Amino acid sequence: MHTNKISRSSHLLLNHQSLSVESTRTALKRGQKFQSFGFLDLTLYETIMEAKDFQRFLHVIKQNKSARNVNISLYNYTLLNDAKLCHLGNVLKNLKCVENLSINIGYCKTFSDQGLWALFRSFKNFHSLKKFTLNMSFCHINQKRLDMLKRVMNKLTMLTSVNFDFQFSNGTNDQGVLTFSKAFKNIKSLCHLDLDFGYCSNLTDMSFIKLNEIIQHQSSLQSLKLNFVSCRLLTDDCLHRVVSTPQSLKKLDLDFSNCNLISDKGIEPFSQKLGNLSSLTLLKFNLTNCLNVQNHGIGCLGASLAKLQNLQALDLNFKMCKKITQDGLKNLAAGLKPLSKLKSITLILDGCRKVTDAGLIYLSDGFQTLLTLKKLHLSFEHCEIFNDQVVESFSETLANLLFIENFKLCLRSLKKFTKKGLQSLCNSLKRLVLLTNLHLDLSFCQNIDDDSVINMNQTLSHLTQLKEFKLSLEGCGQLTNEAVNHLDESLTNLQYLKKLDLDYNMIQQMDDKALNTINRIVETLGQLEYVNLDFSPCPNITNEAFQQLCEVLKAKKSLHTILLNFNG
């Protein structure tokens, strides 16, 4: 009944996030004032339709010849053609002091090899370049274009950081990667390497062999990030090779999501080599939807983790690895116990339906010795065995992790989770008085009722340091206004709160009383900067209540982001 009004409000909010042609021209003029700071940061939006606007864009670059840090984004600029790339290249080649260069031409498809070479060859003059970031995602990248990049990079011998994004680049194949790998032969001091070949479906293990040759010869390498999401031709052989890295490596981030040919046969040798990286402080390993990963591989990984005594951050994603059971988690948990320096853990087990309550209790036991943890993110969506007993065991452990500042827990769609488990969780949360970020996702937990949410709301009053709070109760069909009405008693005490995100989607019992409570919360929180409210569908909320909420939000001067969903 108020769909049109909501649509208009949404449109107005979006306008705050986009620049008109006139405001972009003003920004370009202001760019001339930053010459003395050595920093040039320009974005050309798709909305700029006139040739003179691109000329202004080039003029700002000309006025900043001494810039050391150059960041130019032409992402999805549909008017980018060979002529414009040639003009841009001619201007860039006169910047003699560039040390950090970032070029984004992702999603630009209207230029040819000639235009791209005109841009690339301008980089040859950047003899002092140390950091090079290039985004060509969603562009056509073939062997010829990678050869162009190689010819330029052979001149950039001072590089210490390389970040290339080639995801969704059709045409990229093993031969192209072979050519590209030769671009690093003259670079001797590389510390950071980030390569994104996600969704380049033609790549095979041969690409990894060539990339591994790059990595092995970079004795100064400290950070390695490789993204091969949905490169479905990759096999266990690539994992066997990927950790043939220098002992100096401190950060390793690998993403093999949807690579279904990867199995325990690859994880075992990978884990053996991983245990030798004694300097590693960060490990991220994403095996989402790798359906052949089983307990043996997880156990090998756990054994190698125990050797990484300097590890401070661990992020493991086993979403939809459906063959993992409690035996795998038991060995993984054993590997966590010796990691006394660990400050951050993210563990995703969504859809691991064979994991029993015993497996999750093992995992909880593995956290008990990690008393210095500051960040803990756990997700157990659709883990159907998860019940109140597991939550109680986990809550006992959580209550002793007193230094946690950032906590996220996803229990989405757990059929056996009830208000008893939620009460145990809340009792533990009360002890975490240093919490600044809290995110609880209890969506579609059908046993959650108003009383349990009211108790949870009361817990918030103890967490006086909270700056960000997100609560997702989508599809919890027993909830009514009462689930919201007591929020103001708790949230109004959180005077440091800057970000509020409430999801009551698909709870049709909500009416104007709920919005009145939200109004009181927004008016009271003096530092609030971000609000996201989802009450869709909302047949019982009137136009008047919604308009009153809008007025309250508009009047809140501290707010810079407002997201509303009240459709239906």
Distance CA 31, CA 543 (A): 44
Does residue 211 lie in a domain region? no
Can you read off the two tokens belonging to residue 550? 């809008």
Does residue 3 lie in a domain region? no
C-alpha dist (Å) from residue 304 to 257, 282, 533: 21, 14, 43
Angle at 552 between CA 453 and CA 449, to 5 degrees: 10
How far is Cα of residue 411 from the mean position of the Cα atoms in its chain? Answer: 20
Three-state SS at 164: strand
Residue 32: DSSP 8-state = G
pLDDT tens-place values along the chain, 568 residues long: 333 333 323 322 322 222 333 344 444 444 444 444 467 777 765 544 456 678 888 888 888 888 899 999 999 888 899 999 999 999 999 998 999 999 999 999 999 999 999 999 999 989 999 999 999 999 999 999 999 999 999 999 999 999 999 999 878 999 999 999 999 989 999 999 999 999 999 999 999 888 888 888 898 999 999 999 999 999 999 888 776 667 789 999 999 999 999 999 999 999 999 999 999 999 999 999 999 999 999 999 999 999 999 999 999 999 999 999 999 999 999 999 999 999 999 999 999 989 888 888 899 999 999 999 999 999 999 887 778 888 898 999 999 999 999 999 999 998 888 989 999 999 999 999 999 999 999 999 999 998 888 888 888 889 999 999 999 999 998 988 888 888 888 888 898 999 999 999 888 888 899 999 999 999 999 999 999 999 988 888 898 999 999 999 999 999 999 999 987 6
Residue with tokens 């004795």: 219
Angle at 189 between CA 183 and CA 193, to 5 degrees: 60
Does residue 460 lie in a domain region? yes
Domain of residue 445 covers: 387-568
Three-state SS at 561: strand
Does residue 494 lie in a domain region? yes
Distance CA 486, CA 452 (A): 12
Distance CA 209, CA 150 (A): 18
Give pLDDT tens digits for 369-424: 999 999 999 999 988 777 888 889 899 999 999 999 999 999 999 888 898 999 99
For residues 131 and 100, the answer to whether their CB atoms sit within 8 Å is: yes
Does residue 309 lie in a domain region? no
Q: How far apart are the first and last CA of the chain?
A: 7
**CATH code, domain carrying 549:** 3.80.10.10
Please tell me whether the peptide bond between 269 and the residue prior to it is cis, using omega within 30 degrees of 0: no
Does residue 406 lie in a domain region? yes
Does residue 176 lie in a domain region? no
pLDDT value of residue 38? 64
C-alpha dist (Å) from residue 397 to 390, 411, 427, 431: 11, 17, 12, 11
Does residue 427 lie in a domain region? yes
Distance CA 280, CA 464 (A): 35
Distance CA 288, CA 285 (A): 9
Our count of domains for the chain comes to: 1
Distance CA 476, CA 534 (A): 13
